[in-house]
Amino acid sequence: MFKALSNESRLQILQWLKEPEKHFVPHEGVDMREIGVCVSQVTDKLNMTQSTASQYLFILQRAGLIRTKRIGKYTYYKRDEEKISELAAYLNQKL
């Protein structure tokens, strides 16, 4: 998890996903709080290639910090609040 959080762009993605309605334009009427955001929304916001944004999202997913949901041809990403809370509790206890 720490390695995933060591990149400024990945950390920024997690911050944006905390309040997606404030940072992203809705994608085809999808409830961003419930479903998440599409990689194209993240790509536009980061102003980078889709392959780089996808790689960043994959790293966050592999670290357990975000969840994915596939709907049709799109994959949506949202924070895993439970895992983030566990990480915060761990840091609070250990540091």
Q: Could you tell me the two tokens for 31? A: 């409830």
Q: Convert the pLDDT of each residue in 46-88 to its tens digit.
A: 999 999 999 999 999 999 999 999 999 999 999 999 999 999 9
Q: Has domain 2-94 been given CATH number 3.40.50.10800? A: no
**Which of 42, 43, 20, 35 has its CA nearest to residue 76?**
35
Please indicate, yes or no, whether the overall pTM of this predicted structure exceeds 0.85: yes
Sorted by where each begins, the domain ranges of the chain are 2-94
pLDDT at 29: 84
Which amino acid belongs to residue 32?
Answer: M
Tokens of 45: 């916001």
